[in-house]
Amino acid sequence: MSVKPPVCQMLLVYKKIKDYAGYLSQDQHVPQQKFVLAMLPALFVGHSLMLSHLAKAQQNPLLTKENNKREYDTREHYFSRNVNSARLDMDAILQRYYKLIEPVLHRNRGRGVTVVTDGTDYRKEWARPDRPRGMQGASHVRDGSRSTRAKADLTMGYAGITVEAALPDGTQVPMAHWLFSRKLPDPLTKKRWRSDEQATEQLLERVAPLVGSDAWWTFDRDYASNIYFNAFDKLKLRWLVRIQNNGQAAKRRVRAENGIVWSVEELAATLNLPYTRHTRGRDGEPLTIRMGLKKVFLKEESSSGVERWQETARTLLVAELNGSPTKFIVLVSEWDVDKQEIAEQIRKEYRRRWTVEETHRFVKNDWGFKVEHFRVLKLVAIQRVVFFAMLACGFMALLNVDKPEAVQELVGCAWAQGEAKDPRYRLTQVIGLLVVKLITKTWVRFHRRRALEPPPETPDRLRDRLRNAQRAVTRAQKALRDLGLTE
């Protein structure tokens, strides 16, 4: 660390993480409570979901090399046994986590909360479920880090969905970070996977009550289909979805207010763009955005073949970035008469969607939690280790909301990891260093106390002392008889 953090901040973080883990595990059995209390601090120390790294993070730093290896094997078996335990109730932990974040989301209602949803993949190229020791439920997924058009990008792994709330102050509060298999039933809901659309709808139905009706729900181009639109309307969400300019969704036919039927691509090419906005992009470069709005009606899906249109009007936003011929298209759930204001609001809301991409990068990065490095084999254990990574991100979000000054002071004490602008990299590092330092101090105090203070008197120890005294008396009597000093 470049600057030594204050002792009060060290104790604050350590107490906060212990209280956080203790509250989440209140409904668990005692062994599982101890496991949760050990798992969350170990994530910040090990920066990994590999059980071997978590076991190493919990070792006693004062042991010898031989005893350290024995304790390391014991700790690794401890984590493996508990992460697969049927007595660990993850649903109860999730409900307690929702009780913690619900007041935070409630306080920010009406202030511009944006809920961002995006899919991701957990790549495990060497996973072979057909092997006796293969990972359960692994299937073919597209590696999102490469071009998704090539067949070679299909690899083994798992699919996942992330839902997080972006608060007005920039805090990213995770609401769901769930991994699922396309081959096996979900261990939590006991329901078999049917489609990604159904899995997304079930997850959104669970987290939607946490935020108010005024929150915007932002989705990327993968969600541009009538199945998703109907699900969003069913849940009464205020949604906006990006439509890829040259994708299949751009061929969708929509009806304008004057009754003319267009494809989205044709409408975007001919729409007037009267609103201009000068801003800066994510890389800091100047950016000129020209925007235009159009009131459209979507086509209803009908098995009878009769063309019918929805009665609810939607907003189609078309944007041009720095004069580029490629249009940026966003479809919004509702129509607002104040065109210029709603255009600027849509631009701001969709720009905040990038926070979920930063979260995916953070949890998969080597300086984050390396969620793709897990080595557990059962689907329930894989889900749990990924779920604990979400709980760790939730702890940092709650700490930032509760003690923003302390977080800023701690972030300033850590080394900067490359050019990363996300402060969670630094915060994760400094929390891990503080936990290691406090664990070491705890072991030093423990060994000093054992060296200076007599051991406590327990029934077993008293019984051993009595037995040793009786043996000493017997040996003394025998020695006296051998010397002829007693009859």
Whether the pLDDT of residue 40 is over 70: the answer is yes
What is the arithmetic mean of pLDDT over 145-157? 59
Distance of CA 327 to the CA centre of its chain: 32
CA angle 66, 385, 127 (to 5 degrees): 90
Strand-pair partners of 288: 278
pLDDT class for 170, splitting at 50, 70, 90? confident
Q: Name residue 40's beta-bridge partners.
A: none
Residue 101 pLDDT exceeds 90? yes
Burial of 450 per CB tally in 10 Å (0-12, 13-18, 19+):
exposed
For residues 453-469, give the mean pLDDT: 72
pLDDT of residue 472: 84
Phi/psi at 105 (5° precision): -70, -35
Name the pTM for this structure: 0.82
33 bridge partner residues: none
Give me the residue spans of the domains in the chain. 91-361
Cβ-proximal residues to 364 (8 Å cutoff; 6+ apart), any chain: 370, 371, 372
d(C-alpha 275, C-alpha 319), whole Å? 9
Task: Give the DSSP H or E segment for 277.
Answer: strand 275-280
Beta-strand pair 253-256/261-263: antiparallel
Tell me the C-alpha distance between 118 and 222, whole Å: 8
- Per-residue pLDDT at 92 exceeds 90: yes
Of 3.90.76.10, 3.90.350.10, 3.40.50.300, 1.10.3080.10, the CATH number of 91-361 is 3.90.350.10
* Residue 379 or 479, more confident: 379
Cβ-contact 407, 399 below 8 angstroms: yes
Q: How confident is the model at residue 324 (pLDDT cuts 50, 70, 90)?
A: confident
Instruction: Find the radius of gyration of the CA atoms of the chain.
Output: 29
**Residues present in the chain in total:** 487
